[in-house]
Amino acid sequence: MIDKLEFFIALAREQHFGRAAEACGVTQPTLSSGLKQLEEQLGVLLVNRGARYMGLTQEGERVLDWARRIVGDARAMRQEVRTLRHGLSGHLRIAVIPTALAMVPILTTPYRERHPGVRFTVLSRTSIEILHLLEGLEIDAGLTYLDNEPLGRVRTVPLYREQYRLLISRDSPLGDRAQVSWSEVGEVPLCLLTPDMQNRRIIDRLLAIAGATSAPTLESNSMIVLFSHVRTGKWASIMPEVLTTAFHFPEEIRAIPIVDPAAVHDIGLVVPYRDPMTPLTAALVAEAKKVGRTFGAPMAP
C-alpha cells in the first residue's frame, strides 16, 4: 500500500506517467498497475485518464491529502527505527529563498558536527516553490519569509530579521548619506531579483508605498549575479542587511540603511506540521531554535 501511495504522489507531482515512473525508479507499466490496484482497493477512480494524464478526480484530490500524511508518517517511522539502531543518519533536503542562502551554514555546520552521518542537499527556490515542495514531501525543510505571505499548515522557527540596505558606490549621488528613504531609492537605477521572488515583491510594495515605481535596469533570480554587478561599482541594489555583512564588498561600496519606512521581515525555518517529527527534522528544528536565540529572533508560540 505504501509503495502504491508513493506512485500516486509522484504522479500528482509530475503530472506525467512516464516521469512519475522514472521518479519512483520503476517501469511505466509497473506504476500504472500499482495505481489501478490502489483504485480497486479504495473502490474509487483516482486519476482521469485519456491518451495522457488528465488530472485527478475529486476523490483523487482527497486521497492525495491522505497519501501524503500516510507516506510522511511511514517515512518518519522508518527513520526513527533506523536512528534507534544506528544513530542519526540519512539525507536532509532543504530549500532556501535566494536571500537566505548565505545563512544556511549557521544551521548545517553545527548540525553536521553533532550528526556526522547526515548528508545535505540545499536547493535555491522561491518561497512559493518551498511550500509546494514541503507539501509534496520532496524536501524536509525550508528557509523562507514567515510574516509576509500565507504559509499554510507548517511548523515555523524564526531565525533572524531581514532589514534592507541600499548598496551603492561611495561616489554616487546618494553614496555619502547616513540613510536614505524608499522614495529616494526609487530614483536610483537598480538591479533586483525577478518578480517571482518574495524579496522583490516586498521591495516593489515598499517602493509603491513611498510613491516610487520599481523599474530595475537588471533582473536576475541569482544573488551571485546581483553581487557581481554591485561589486563593479557601476550598479546599485537593495539587499538584506545580513547579506551585506556576510559578503565582503570593496571599500567603495556602501550599505546604507533605508528608512521611511524602516521595514523588517522575519526569516525562519519551516517544516511539515507533523507530530512526531522525523528525527532528522527534529534535530534541525532544535538547531534552528539555538540560532534564533543567538540572533534575537522572536520565538514562535
% the chain with pLDDT above 90: 49
pLDDT at site 152? 84
pLDDT, one tens digit per residue, over 165-217 is 999 999 888 999 999 999 999 989 899 999 999 999 999 999 999 998 888 99
Q: Round to whole Å and give the CA distance between 24 and 10.
A: 7
pLDDT at 33 over 80: yes
pLDDT at site 301? 47
In a domain, 301, yes or no: no
The whole-number average pLDDT for the span 73-97 is 85
The pLDDT confidence band at residue 139, using thresholds 50, 70 and 90, is very high
DSSP characters for 28-84?
Answer: HHHHHHHHHHHHHHHTS--EEESSSEEEE-HHHHHHHHHHHHHHHHHHHHHHHHHHH
Residues 275 and 150 in one domain: yes
Residues 277 and 136 in one domain: yes
Residues 98 and 180 in one domain: no
The pLDDT confidence band at residue 263, using thresholds 50, 70 and 90, is confident
The whole-number average pLDDT for the span 82-102 is 88
- Nearest CA among 176, 180, 185, 224 for reference residue 203: 185
> Where in the sequence is the domain holding 190, given as residue range(s)?
164-263
pLDDT at 295 over 50: yes
**Residue pointed to by grid coordinates 554587478:** 229
Q: What is the mean pLDDT of the chain?
A: 89
In a domain, 220, yes or no: yes
Residues 252 and 282 in one domain: no
The pLDDT confidence band at residue 140, using thresholds 50, 70 and 90, is very high
Residues 151 and 275 in one domain: yes
Confirm if 134 and 277 have CB atoms less than 8 A apart.
Answer: no
Residues 253 and 204 in one domain: yes
Radius of gyration of the chain (CA): 23
Max Cα distance, the chain (Å): 72
Residues 256 and 197 in one domain: yes
Where residue 97 sits, what CATH number does that domain have? Answer: 3.40.190.10
DSSP letter at 190 equals: B
